[in-house]
Amino acid sequence: MASKLKEKSSEETGSGAHGVTLPLDQFSRLVALVYRGALDPLPWSGAVEALHRLLQASWVTLILRPASAGHQALMVNMGREGGPHVAASPHINPDVFTLDPFMNLPSDRIVTADEMVGESNWLNSEYYRQFCEPAGVRYVMGADIHTEEGSECRFRICRPAEAPPFSAADKALCQMLLPHFENAVRLYTSIDAAESERQLLAGTVDRMLLGTVILDEAGTVLKTNSVAHHILRENDGLRIAQGLLEAGYGAENRELYRLIKLALQGITSTAGAVSQAMSISRPSGRAKLGLALRSIPQGDWLETRHRPTVAVFIRDPESRSQASREMIQRLFGLTPAESSLALLLADGQSLDEAAVQLGVRKNTARAQLRAIFSKTGVTRQTALVRLLLASVTPQ
């Protein structure tokens, strides 16, 4: 490490009290890797690999999820055998960590096992004899990162017995990186929570057989979900042409463009998100597609290209969604027969038409409709349709 660090004055390098650090350009690149780690497919793999090489370590480890009774530990490791990888194998369990005396470290400073535990206590500990010594690990330094959001990340760097102990310069470098790691962990936690919520909502929309098309600030299609992809692939009244959402009939296409333009204007409106709706005729003669357009609120600070600005929801009334049926049953306490009738009514069928499709007598359908009215709290079929559509369609 000493050969990789340069002793310069604080004026030249911005160094701390130890008077030694990396040249600013190298340190800047290392900090960039720390922040980029929050976006890496394998979190912090670049930073872990750089520190492994720079500190001549046998292991560099970030424990992103400490072991617990319900979970194995989740680590990003860089060892002698190869590049960074995730370790979450069955042998990494809570028992390993309960023996570790190098735990509950300060979150504001880098410490070594020798100074934290004591050299003799460290070398004679059960954890060292069982796990460190067989792996060729003698020296360990690190810190425990705790964020205000409750995240915990353990940062550990190891060296073998034949290597020199960690120097003050080594500790000083990691100390300067520590607040950057904490901020990057907070960023990662925020992104992870947002992605979990996005997947949950996307899965819910898919199960409702609701198509979604996301447009950018120019009205160009950015992405579609699987339901929308299937509808658009049929090219039955609605398609994607040259990256734009397009209706099959001229009058409807002009209306669609008008509504998209209004929705795009809504992203800068102080009145909030703008919602529009229309129907799309299908040349096949099948029931019209229902479209709902909604502008997507934008942040106040950054202006970027190709960001989501408008969501278009597509509903095919001829699609039968088991998820929607089950949702309506749970929401209103309907029986399977009642929910089937309710969905047919929501699709625009009359009571008589629904009775024929369900294969029940008209009197039976009327009795079921009365039960539906009683359970949902409405008294008219039009009100029932609005209630059901609102319960399964994003507003």
Does residue 240 form part of some domain? yes
The per-residue pLDDT for 394 is: 45
Claim to verify: residue 69 and residue 167 sit in the same structural domain: yes
Claim to verify: residue 271 and residue 330 sit in the same structural domain: no
Claim to verify: residue 306 and residue 353 sit in the same structural domain: no
Claim to verify: residue 23 and residue 165 sit in the same structural domain: yes
Q: Which long-range contacts (CB under 8 A, 24 or more apart) does 38-43 make?
A: 38/184, 38/185, 38/187, 38/188, 38/191, 39/191, 42/76, 42/84, 42/85, 42/86, 43/76, 43/188
The CATH number of the domain holding residue 13 is: 3.30.450.80
User: Which residues are CB-neighbours of 228 under 8 A, at least 6 positions away?
Assistant: 211, 212, 213, 314
Q: What does residue 210 show for φ and ψ, rounded to 5 degrees?
A: -105, 120
Does residue 203 form part of some domain? no
Q: Of 163, 195, 227, which residue sits at a domain end?
A: 195
The CATH number of the domain holding residue 336 is: 1.10.10.10
Pick out the chain residues at pLDDT < 70.
1-21, 66-73, 81-97, 204-208, 267-274, 299-304, 320-324, 347, 389-395
CA dihedral 384, 387, 391, 395 (to 10 degrees): 140
Claim to verify: residue 282 and residue 381 sit in the same structural domain: no
Q: Of 315, 338, 354, which residue sits at a domain end?
A: 315
The per-residue pLDDT for 228 is: 93
Claim to verify: residue 186 and residue 298 sit in the same structural domain: no
Does residue 99 form part of some domain? yes
The per-residue pLDDT for 73 is: 67
Claim to verify: residue 348 and residue 374 sit in the same structural domain: yes
The per-residue pLDDT for 268 is: 56
Q: Of 258, 293, 315, which residue sits at a domain end?
A: 315
The per-residue pLDDT for 1 is: 42
Tell whether pTM > 0.75: no
The per-residue pLDDT for 239 is: 96
The CATH number of the domain holding residue 255 is: 3.30.450.20
Does residue 200 form part of some domain? no
Does residue 94 form part of some domain? yes
Strand ranges in 82-199 using DSSP code E only, listed in sequence order: 85-87, 111-112, 139-146, 152-159
Does residue 201 form part of some domain? no
92: domain range?
A: 6-195
Dist CA 130 CA 112 (whole Å): 19
The per-residue pLDDT for 321 is: 52
> For the chain, give me the number of helices (H) and strands (E)?
15, 15
Number of domains within the chain = 3
Claim to verify: residue 299 and residue 351 sit in the same structural domain: no
Query: Residue holding tokens 């202006």?
Result: 303
Does residue 42 form part of some domain? yes
Does residue 202 form part of some domain? no
Claim to verify: residue 103 and residue 73 sit in the same structural domain: yes
Claim to verify: residue 225 and residue 135 sit in the same structural domain: no
Claim to verify: residue 40 and residue 108 sit in the same structural domain: yes
CB 238 within 8 A of CB 289: yes
Q: Which amino acid is at 150?
A: G
Claim to verify: residue 329 and residue 310 sit in the same structural domain: no
Query: Residue holding tokens 């339901």?
Result: 227
The per-residue pLDDT for 121 is: 93
